[in-house]
Every structure is written in C-alpha cells, then in structure tokens.
Amino acid sequence: MKILSDPRKINQLIRRAKRNGKSIGFVPTMGALHAGHLSLIRQAKRDNDLAVVSIFVNPAQFGPQEDLKRYPRPLKNDLALCRKEKVDLVFIPEDKMMYPEGFVTFVNVEGLSGRLCGAARPGHFRGVTTVVTKLLNIISADVLYLGQKDAQQAVIISRMVEDLNFAVKIVVMPIVRGNNGLALSSRNVYLSKSQREEAQVLFKALHLAKLMIRHGQFNSSRIIEKMKELISRKKQAKIDYVAIVDPKSLGPLKKIGRDCLVCLAVKFGKTRLIDNLRITCG
C-alpha cells in the first residue's frame, strides 16, 4: 500500500496506471474509518484494478462553530484498516496542499446545497463539492464510491458530476447500521452511553414512516408529525429537521407518490446525527 501526500505525485502515479489500462475506484473520506467506509472500499476493490482512498478532514466544509478541531483523526488505525483491506493508494494531503495561500475558487451546486442540512450548515456543501472536485481532478477516478448515509451529499455530488461533465461513474452504497439500528458515523464516537441509547430512536422513527406509508398514509405532514412525536420523547434529542422529499430534487413532498426519501437531522448534546430511508411504493 502506497501512502502519498503530494497531489502531483499521486496524480502522476494514477495517470501512469491508467495508461497501463488500470481502472481506478476512489473512496473519499475524512478518516475515522468504520464499517460504512469499509463497505465502500470493498466495493471499490471488487469493481476496479486499483482502489484509492483519500483521508482529509476538509476545513472548507466546517462552519466556524462546528467540530473541525475535535473531529476524530485516528490516522494509525485508519491506515491499518486500509492495509487490511488491501487498498492500493492512500492520499493524505495537508491542508496547505489542498488550500494553498491565495485559494479563492469554489464549486457550488445551487439550490440543492441550501436544502435540508444545507439550511443549518451554510457553506457546508460548497466545501464538499469544492474538495470533491479537487480530489477528482487529482485522482481522476473511473468510479467514485459514496455512502447513502449522506444522502444529500450523494445527490449534490451526482448533480455536480453531471452538470460539469466529470468522466466518473458514481456508486452509492447502502447505509451500514449497528445492531441497535444506529447508522454508523465517524461522529458517533462523540455520543455518551445514554445519548447512543437515545439515538436508536432515529431508525425507529424512519421505520415508523415506512410502516405508515405501507398502511396507506401518504400525507407527509401526518407522518412527519408522528416521527417528531416519537423522537421528542427522548430527553436529549433536539430535532433540526424531519422531512419527506423527492429523492432527486430534495424538494419537500406534500403527498407521497412512488418514491420518497425520509430524512432527518437530530442533535444529541453537541452531536448532530443524520439518517434517512428511501421508500418506494407499489
């Protein structure tokens, strides 16, 4: 496994591999790898000749009041996991290599970036799309692997790839959950024992929505109301949003048709968790 931090060096290596006919699968991460990331890495290994993982805690996607400083950085463990999964290349750039002095260019996906999480985290998705653009230019992958856990991120990046003619295919892998239903996230390490227990309610709320739809309730506000009621029973839960949206436009759906995305963001103490469930009917 090669570990590189210089964008030019990894770019040269990948270009050489591509000239030799190798396909490149790319998994962008901010480290603190868990089973969710590993599922992406394994799929990248299965589908491609070379699997590339980036580990970069991207300052551009954190707001001034957010957790950039305390974001977990267990690099040794991350590298051990990558080695175990037989990742071919790991890219670990430094901040100043990605954002050198004088950096002023950003990529923004209009509209989509302001919805759902974008409303509470202004600038967040602009930071994500900017860094993913840079990473795709550096890595020039054939396939980009993303997780459904960050459903809005996957929709926004897919839109950007289409709009800006990136020659990359996107594969979105299912959410990986713990036994208690809690979606795996690098931020789960922040949760206290009681918060972790309470957070199980998020998956229950998503399932409540599924059940209500299966029983013929297609009025979103009724479902959202019941979900909020259930979540609010937990003392430490502070709801940011619960929404039922169109899976592509992320616009709110008043009436549920064939396909919808039920999504939520809830804070437990200082930790903001997101989760979602795609529900298709008929």
Interface ranges with ligand PAF (CB under 6 A): 28-30, 58, 61, 128, 131-132, 150, 153
State in angstroms the smallest separation of the CB of 93 from ligand PAF: 11
Rank residues 52 and 279 by Cβ distance to ligand PAF and give the closer one. Answer: 52
Pick 183 or 209: Cβ nearer ligand PAF: 183
CB of 173 closer than 8 Å to CB of 147? yes
Q: In whole angstroms, how close is the CB of 19 to ligand PAF at the nearest point?
A: 27
29 or 113: CB nearest ligand PAF: 29
Active site residue 37: yes
Residue 56 CB, nearest approach to ligand PAF (Å): 6
- The SS3 of residue 91 is strand
By beta-carbon proximity to ligand PAF, the closer residue of 126 and 234 is 126
State the DSSP string of the chain.
-EEE--HHHHHHHHHHHHHTT--EEEEEE-S---HHHHHHHHHHHHH-SEEEEEE---GGGS-TTSSTTTS---HHHHHHHHHHTT-SEEE---HHHHS-TT-------TTGGGSTHHHHSTTHHHHHHHHHHHHHHHH--SEEEEEGGGHHHHHHHHHHHHHTT---EEEEEPPPB-TTSPBP-GGGGG--HHHHHHTTHHHHHHHHHHHHHHTT--BHHHHHHHHHHHHHTSTTEEEEEEEEE-TTT--B-SB--SEEEEEEEEEETTEEEEEEEEEE--
CB of 225 to ligand PAF, least distance (A): 30
Residue with Cβ nearer ligand PAF (103 or 222): 103
Report, in Å, the least distance between residue 98 CB and ligand PAF: 10
Helix (H, G, I), strand (E, B) or coil at 19: helix
Q: Catalytic one among 37, 124, 207, 215? A: 37
Catalytic residues: 37
